[in-house]
Amino acid sequence: MTQLDIRAILDHLPHRYPFLLVDRVLELEKNHRILAIKNVTMNEPYFVGHFPHQPVMPGVLQIEALAQAAGILSFQTMNRVSDAESIYYFVGIDNARFKRPVVPGDQLHLEVRIQRVSRGVWKYKGVASVDGQLAAEADLMCALRSLPPPGAAAAADSGEAAP
């Protein structure tokens, strides 16, 4: 089983502070599942406003953390890393449920399993937990898409051919 530290995670995801939400990969089985962690600290920028009197990690960021773990799993499965020519989009979410608050000091365990891959769309089941208690769960969908070469969008807007 593969483990990844933060340097390897940075190779597999384009996200950076303050939006990188995976700190370590504990287990990774290509084509199957990943178990990663997000250490939730009081230093997270969203706690300033969510909520000052009772800090709680926003549910949408718990789901984003699951999607980022899914991205690492998919890149590892494809034997690829993140690059400037493509982007891995979060394209769908179903059945999201939130069962307990995630607060500073918690370690959020992110388990994502590949359900299927069809026509370039990856479907996963994601479960986030703290101390063995379910915090959030959702069915996720992501897709890898090619990006236009630099300058292609500007050339298209001006009617000129890209170099």
Catalytic residue set: 50
The per-type count for the chain, helices as H runs and strands as E runs, is: 3, 7
Instruction: Fill in the amino acid letter for 41.
Output: T
Fill in the DSSP letter of residue 155: H
Q: In 51-120, which ranges are E strands? A: 86-98, 107-118
- C-alpha 27/C-alpha 1 separation (Å) is 6
- C-alpha 23/C-alpha 159 separation (Å) is 44
Helices (H), the chain: 6-12, 59-77, 152-158
- C-alpha 36/C-alpha 6 separation (Å) is 11
| Cα atoms in the Cβ-side hemisphere of radius 13 Å centred on 24 | 9
